[in-house]
Amino acid sequence: MSLAATAFNQIMIMFLLILVGIFCYRMKLIDKITNKKLSDMVLMLVNPIVIIISYQRKFEGTLLTGLLISFILAVVTHIFGIVIGYVIIRGNKHKADLAIERFAVIYSNCGFIGIPMAGGLFGSEGVFYITAYMTIFNLLVWTHGVIIMTGKTDTKSMTKALLSPSVIATVVGFLLFVTRITLPETLSDTLTYLGNMNTPLAMLVSGITIAQTDLKKLFLKFRIYYLSFLKLLFVPIAMLFLFRLFNLPNVVLLTSVLAAACPSAVTISLFAIRYEKNYLYASEIFAVSTISSLLTIPLVMYIANLVLYR
């Protein structure tokens, strides 16, 4: 099966899970408060477990090299997104929304969408490499991301970035990897069971969040399509052609491009609430970019397949 076909199959599974989340919210099986708790559970517990498990593999020099390259590619991608956000995203009659729009283009849903997609396309090796992107994401979203939203530096948020569960899990997993320490089978199996909850829980949360928006009016806001184009196609394809100039392992390159091709981070809605921005607009961008990614991620993978394997 081609890379694009595999991506499409994986994204369809995730789409059906998103529909279940929408159904649960519409039927009042899950409310906003419960969804917030589920979101916290994924971010604070399940994602870190998935990261640690992904590092439980035989130590190989090529894997370590690939991981270090992934860190560099993640930094480059975020810097490119920041430049695009400030240079291109300017014209908006609602200047207060510029922060939300720039945030949406820069930061990917690499935890909720990226990890399940990387696992589905490239297995545990893909999850292993995408942890680098998640680490850079967490460091930047709680520093630069907070500065975007507030317009000022928040030292506490910078400290929080270093102590986020995903960053801690990456450090712990990396130390276990390089010291070649293997977890006991019973503990490893338990963590694997918990980690397997990541995809269904993350997609349910995404579906419930989307269900809270006005879907009828949602698709008539054309500026959101412009933002989605920048986030879902322009940035990842630009990174694909840039990274292709270097002699990089294909899985490392593709995982980085996949992370960049993910929709806008669900964090955009949480930050909009926390920092008193336009929460509705943030949720609309999240919803459109997430729904659009059902088509754009397979398209990006198709283009990547043509570029790398022709």
How do residues 116-128 score in pLDDT, each as one tens digit?
Answer: 888 888 888 888 8
Percent of residues, the chain, with pLDDT higher than 90: 31
**Which tokens in the block code for residue 7?**
């991506």
pLDDT at 35 over 70: yes
283, 270 contact by CB (below 8 A): no
pLDDT, tens digit (0-9, with 9 covering 90-100), for 155-186: 676 677 677 787 888 889 889 988 989 999 99
Residues 92/223, Cβ–Cβ less than 8 Å? yes
pLDDT class of 11 with cuts at 50, 70, 90 = confident
Nearest to 276 by CA among 97, 104, 120: 97
Q: What's residue 95's pLDDT?
A: 64
Cα(308)–Cα(66) distance, integer angstroms: 17
In the DSSP assignment, the letter for residue 38 is H
Q: How many domains does the chain have?
A: 1
Tokens of residue 197, six digits: 């909850």
Expressed as residue numbers, the domain containing 190 is: 3-309
**Mean pLDDT taken over the chain:** 85
Average pLDDT score over residue span 272-299: 84
pLDDT higher than 90, residue 222: no
CATH number at residue 225: 1.20.1530
264: phi then psi, degrees, rounded to nearest 5? -60, 145
Alpha helices in 183-278 (DSSP H): 185-195, 198-211, 215-218, 222-229, 235-243, 250-261, 267-274
